[in-house]
């Protein structure tokens, strides 16, 4: 059995190069990670001295969500977080280390990635699975991939010269791009990873500074990612888009409900298939008494309920929602 140990970014790239060149694990593989991959960002600013602004917390939760999605797509074949068992969630749980004035956020992803690899071996070839897991680790944690994303965002703008890439970084990007193109599960996760990056950027104030250390040991020209909030926002700025309106029927858990508002009811729901949480308004007389009773009962009992909602959606996020009907089953 082939034993593959990855303990840094350079080894991850080397492993991907060999796999893309056709390396086979005919006798099986034992893939392990040692102190890699590490998600490490540092944010400097007035709000980050001895405190953690609440605007940053959703980003940390989004990182956990992306790890959970990786496990789901490799183990179960789809990014449906409902498939995660309690045991899965416990083993995938990330521990975030906050250090030095609460400005450095660091978490080690080796255990969740190892679990994803071990539990998905029966669903896909070890070679494709190794490509998927290793590529995910590089995409999430490597400064050069974050810089590559920023440079793409800056394309056509006068700021693209501010994102410098060494020749070796460009070669590594080519390796990761090829790996992503042949791994369908990575393609399914790319949007979420980009949204995570976008979320970090949009949470910065103009004077804040985001840093992500370069992790390569052999590339002396590679620079850490270092960018201030004003520049980052200018690079990633896009003209405002209009939210799209649609009717959606799905299963939800009712997390809370306010029945005492003068303008109707407001509920907070969690969509079961992906655990997305948002608020929805129920205008006065919009639903029947029996449907309102179902809301109350299912909210107390924490039972799933099927709701039909009129939602406004922008960039895969619901900006507003109104309840149309409740399935009374």
pLDDT tens series, the chain, 329 aa: 788 999 999 999 999 999 999 998 877 888 999 999 999 988 888 888 767 788 888 888 889 999 999 999 999 988 888 889 999 999 999 988 877 555 778 888 999 999 999 999 988 899 999 999 999 999 999 999 999 999 888 876 766 556 788 899 999 999 999 999 999 889 889 888 999 999 898 889 999 999 888 865 555 567 788 889 888 888 887 766 788 899 999 999 988 888 888 888 989 899 998 888 899 999 888 888 888 888 878 767 778 899 999 999 987 788 899 999 988 65
315: left (phi over 0), alpha (psi -120 to 50) or beta: left
Return the CATH fold of 244-326. Answer: OB fold (Dihydrolipoamide Acetyltransferase, E2P) (2.40.50)
The span from the CA of 85 to the CA of 193, in Å, is: 23
Which regions of the chain carry the CATH code 2.40.50?
244-326
225-241 residues labelled b (16+ CB within 10 A) or e (exposed): bebbbebbebbbeeeee
How far are the Cα atoms of 35, 39, 177 from residue 12, in angstroms, in the given order? 12, 15, 14
How far are the Cα atoms of 237, 244, 314 from residue 241, in angstroms, in the given order? 11, 9, 8
| pTM, entire model | 0.72
How far are the Cα atoms of 65, 108, 220, 233 from residue 195, in angstroms, in the given order? 12, 20, 30, 14
The span from the CA of 281 to the CA of 291, in Å, is: 14
């Amino acid at each position: 059995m082939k034993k593959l140990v990855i303990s840094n970014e350079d080894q991850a790239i080397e492993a991907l190069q060999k796999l893309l060149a056709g390396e086979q694990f005919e006798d099986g593989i034992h893939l392990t990670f040692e102190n890699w991959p590490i998600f490490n960002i540092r944010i400097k600013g007035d709000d980050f001295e001895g405190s953690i602004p609440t605007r940053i917390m959703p980003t940390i939760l989004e990182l956990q969500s992306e790890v959970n999605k990786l496990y789901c797509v490799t183990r179960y074949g789809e990014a449906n977080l409902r498939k995660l068992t309690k045991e899965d969630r416990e083993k995938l749980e990330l521990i975030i280390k906050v250090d030095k004035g609460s400005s450095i956020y660091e978490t080690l992803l080796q255990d969740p990635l190892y679990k994803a690899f071990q539990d998905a071996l029966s669903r896909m070839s070890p070679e494709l699975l190794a490509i998927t897991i290793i590529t995910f680790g590089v995409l999430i944690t490597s400064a050069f991939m974050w810089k590559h994303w920023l440079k793409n965002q800056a394309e056509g703008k006068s700021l693209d010269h501010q994102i410098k890439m060494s020749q070796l970084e460009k070669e590594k990007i080519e390796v990761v791009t090829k790996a992503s193109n042949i791994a369908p599960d990575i393609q399914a996760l790319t949007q979420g990873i980009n949204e995570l990056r976008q979320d970090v950027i949009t949470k910065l104030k103009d004077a804040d500074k985001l840093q992500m250390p370069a992790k390569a040991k052999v590339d002396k020209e590679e620079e850490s990612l270092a960018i201030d909030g004003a520049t980052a926002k200018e690079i990633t700025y896009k003209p405002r888009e209009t939210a799209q309106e649609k009717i959606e029927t799905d299963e939800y858990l009712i997390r809370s409900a306010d029945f005492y508002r003068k303008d109707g009811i407001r509920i907070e729901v969690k969509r079961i298939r992906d655990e997305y949480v948002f608020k929805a308004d129920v205008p006065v007389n919009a639903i029947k008494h029996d449907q309102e009773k179902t809301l109350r009962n299912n909210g107390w009992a924490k039972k799933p309920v099927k709701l039909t909602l009129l939602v406004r959606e922008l960039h895969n996020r619901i900006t507003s929602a109104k309840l149309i009907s409740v399935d009374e089953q």
